[in-house]
Amino acid sequence: MSGEQGHLFEDAPWEADDAAEALVATLVFPGPLEGEFDYLVPEPYLESIRPGRRVEAPLGRGNRPVIGYCVKIETKEVGERKLKYLSRVMDEKDLLSPAMIRLTRWIAERYLCSWGQVLETVVPAGVRTQAGTRLAKYVYVNDEVRALVRKAKKFKLPLKQAKALKVLVESDSAITTQELARTIGSTQAPINSLIKKGLVETEKRRTPPQSVQVAASPQVENLPLNTAQQTALDAIVKALHAGEAATLLLHGITGSGKTEVYIRAIQEVLTFGRQAIVLVPEISLTPQTVERFRARFPQVAVLHSHLSDAERHWHWEQIASGEVSVVVGARSAVFAPTPHLGLILMDEEHETSFKQENAPRYHTREVALQRARMEKIPLVLGSATPSLESWHRTQTKEYQLLTLPHRIHHRPLPTVRILDLRRDSASKSASGAISPLLAQEMERELEKGGQVILLLNRRGYSTHIQCPSCGEVLTCNHCDIAMTYHRQDDVALCHYCDHEEKVPRTCAACGFGGIRFSGLGTQKLEKEVQQRFANYRCLRMDTDTMHAPGSHQRALAAFREGKIRILLGTQMIAKGLDFPDVTLVGVINADLALHMPDFRSAERTFQLLAQVAGRAGRGDRGGRVFVQTYSPEHPAIQAASRHDYFAFADQELPLREALNYPPFGTMVRIILRGPREQQVARMGEYLKQQYEQAAETVGATIRLLGPAPAPITKLRDKFRYNLQLQSKEEQELRDTLLMAQEQMDREKSLPDDVEWIIDIDPMSML
């Protein structure tokens, strides 16, 4: 990327005279347009132009007005360069600090996407459009008038006008006419008279965004920490005072009191006037979590995905002004414009939802790491089941490891019993999805007053709609995915594109008239539970039942109060919940994630089982977990049943190392998609050649896999292929990608209906 404006603008008539030295603003444009562009700054904007503000400028031969971000200003020699003038500066305040400008640039380079696209992601739409504000007429008095009034020179004014003037003289800032009228208890007529008489000046300005009302939470006292918590806190506090970047991994088993440690660390940060960002997965933004922070800190901003643009704008301004001391939010909270950030915390750091799945495809953990480095502050990652990437970095001493090995009050972890579905399968059809032993234990716990959680990580009623005669499975017309039967609406639904259709009476392939439904989803499990445990209220929690805003909150409140005795659902129920009366957790089928075509499938299975098991036995009643599986001897399931993270890591890491998978190598996935399969495949071959050539040119050792059809071969009418690039040397891989990109940019004849996506450090392999 050069600072040159390039050949796009030759023979433009509005170029500047060749001034020797001038103020030059460097702009970056959102959208796919790559590169930085230099512009001259016209006289009226010499004062207001600043890096971090948006600017309108003419672009291209047609001088199309485009909005871009100013990323640098510099007085320099323009010489022979024919620069255009930008047209106007749009913002009165900086939207991005110099630190954020550097961070966004780093993201663009790290994830090979356009800088402008990153800027658009970092500055929320509500901030760009100033949502929730309006233009209003402000009035004020100038110093001359103020002095005259103060010297008690009499103005012969009607009462209301005199009153209004007095308010303005005493106010140090301008007031909207509306507010002034309200203050003096009149219409705007007296104010207009003052304006006409020239005593009061006016100005059009934007009102600040409407504030978001949050009920104040009663503040709660700190709990005395146990020894392990105190040791962990001491280490974090030490890092805080060192004034350097550092990453600490807090590995604490479920219920060990990690959140309490976070809260204490934040309190420490606040004592020296700085702010903290707490990153949590969206799914954990439960009222329970949010309340725990609100009860300790009066000024908390909670950034969740249901905020309106105006609310987001208001929070942004509050954060930027330093009013807010703690920001709690999902992915994008890592970009919160805190003026003096002191600490970043990331809870459940292993969660894959921290990876953004559309451009810019950043991983929040890596961005947080970089932000912490740039701002010279600590980053604390927390998890009961750390990602192997983070775990590995503790082994290589890049991260400092902190451990909470016990539950609070030394409560025991629940015992886990594996139920072998193979052995049970003879009696299975009779008993349904819940094996006889699990059913019996559920009955026992419920009778004793305990609560039960059942995990089945698949929504819908039946996951297969199949012809028993010819074996044809009903798949989506637009995707290469089996349709799921949703009984509530009596439709077949594609879980990937939401395509919905009526279930055919007869098989489309052979005409046989007896379509069969098989495979188990949460709806069917719910029906079974309702039939078998008719005396207890049960609630299903999955994305189908949790559509309405607030439904999640209501469901969890009902469970907390004990109105609901059995909670069943997808992974939504597996994480973060702290209910002391849950004495039994049942996993209906532990194998669902195990056989996914993804090198992380064992890790995901281990994490999910360990997390859901962690919901049991958090109170005095103790707890037990039953795991139904067809693969009882699988190491991930074995390790999870013993709550043994170390055993899992020790077993899994050598497998990763042998294949150069992360954390031992860097991986990049290229996804190609287009409407015609042959073209997509051909493009895949072409890309492979390009990457091979590029690797040779830069002297990189790269392992290339594919092109091959992606596990989901067709999605929303597009065929998908993928290529994988792996290397032990991250830099070599990066150089290869850049070199190939350069080569291909020169190539003009690439088919334009095949797009390809570069996913650095992919989390999804489907």
Interacting residue ranges for Zn ion, rule: CB under 5 A? 476, 478-479, 494, 496-497, 499
In sequence order, what are the residues at sequence separation of 6 or more whose Cβ sits closer than 8 angstroms to the Cβ of residue 1?
34, 35, 36
Q: Which is nearer to Zn ion, 395 or 477 (CB)?
A: 477
Out of 48, 192, 226, 469, the residue judged to bind ligand ADP by CB under 6 A: 226
Assign 223 to helix, strand or coil.
Answer: coil
**Stretch touching ligand ADP by CB under 6 A, among 126-134, 217-225, 432-440, 459-467:** 217-225
Q: Which is nearer to ligand ADP, 348 or 445 (CB)?
A: 348
8 Å CB contact between 341 and 275: yes
Q: Which is nearer to Zn ion, 479 or 539 (CB)?
A: 479
462 binds ligand ADP (CB under 6 A): no
Backbone angles phi, psi at 724, to 5 degrees: -120, 135
Q: Which is nearer to ligand ADP, 237 or 491 (CB)?
A: 237
Q: Which is nearer to Zn ion, 74 or 489 (CB)?
A: 489
91's contact among Zn ion, ligand ADP, none, with CB below 5 to 8 A by partner kind, is none
Number of residues in contact with ligand ADP under rule CB under 6 A: 15
8 Å CB contact between 584 and 536: no
In angstroms, the CA 370 to CA 338 distance is: 15
**How far apart are CB 587 and ligand ADP at their closest, in Å?**
19
Q: In the stretch 561-590, what mask flags binding to ligand ADP with x, by CB under 6 A?
A: -----------------x------------
**How far apart are CB 548 and ligand ADP at their closest, in Å?**
27
Cα–Cα distances (Å) from 693 to 233, 487, 682, in that order, read: 51, 53, 17
Q: Which is nearer to ligand ADP, 200 or 384 (CB)?
A: 384
621 binds ligand ADP (CB under 6 A): no
H-run or E-run covering 304? none
225's contact among ligand ADP, Zn ion, none, with CB below 5 to 8 A by partner kind, is ligand ADP
Closest by CA position to 479, among listed 497, 465, 466, 493: 497
Q: Considering only residues 402-431, where is the footprint of ligand ADP by CB under 6 A? A: 408
Cα–Cα distances (Å) from 670 to 112, 390, 497, 667, in that order, read: 12, 24, 21, 10
Strand-pair category, 246-252 with 378-383 = parallel
8 Å CB contact between 614 and 255: yes
3-state secondary structure 184-206: HCCCCHHHHHHHHCCCCEEEEEE
Q: What is the DSSP letter of 166?
A: H
Out of 5, 104, 177, 259, the residue judged to bind ligand ADP by CB under 6 A: 259
Q: Which is nearer to Zn ion, 244 or 500 (CB)?
A: 500
The letter for the amino acid at 530 is Q
Helix axes of 98-110 and 364-375: crossing angle, nearest 10 degrees: 140
Q: Which is nearer to ligand ADP, 383 or 462 (CB)?
A: 383
260 binds ligand ADP (CB under 6 A): yes
In angstroms, the CA 71 to CA 292 distance is: 39
Q: Which is nearer to ligand ADP, 23 or 225 (CB)?
A: 225
223 binds ligand ADP (CB under 6 A): yes
- For the CA atoms of the chain, what is the radius of gyration? 31
**Stretch touching ligand ADP by CB under 6 A, among 30-38, 249-257, 427-435, 480-488:** 249-257
Q: Which is nearer to ligand ADP, 295 or 437 (CB)?
A: 295
Out of 110, 258, 355, 486, the residue judged to bind ligand ADP by CB under 6 A: 258
Out of 257, 378, 450, 706, the residue judged to bind ligand ADP by CB under 6 A: 257
8 Å CB contact between 407 and 268: no
258's contact among ligand ADP, Zn ion, none, with CB below 5 to 8 A by partner kind, is ligand ADP
Percentage helix, strand, coil, to 5, in the chain?
35, 25, 40
Closest by CA position to 374, among listed 560, 245, 215: 245
8 Å CB contact between 468 and 461: no
8 Å CB contact between 291 and 340: no
Q: Which is nearer to ligand ADP, 254 or 466 (CB)?
A: 254
H-run or E-run covering 484? strand 484-486
**How far apart are CB 459 and Zn ion at their closest, in Å?**
15
Out of 116, 126, 255, 386, the residue judged to bind ligand ADP by CB under 6 A: 255
408's contact among ligand ADP, Zn ion, none, with CB below 5 to 8 A by partner kind, is ligand ADP
**How far apart are CB 261 and ligand ADP at their closest, in Å?**
8
557 binds ligand ADP (CB under 6 A): no
Cα–Cα distances (Å) from 721 to 677, 740, 752, 762, in that order, read: 9, 19, 16, 15
**Stretch touching ligand ADP by CB under 6 A, among 109-117, 179-187, 225-233, 535-543:** 225-233
Q: What is the DSSP letter of 318?
A: H
476's contact among ligand ADP, Zn ion, none, with CB below 5 to 8 A by partner kind, is Zn ion
* Footprint of ligand ADP (CB under 6 A): 223-226, 229, 252, 254-260, 408, 578
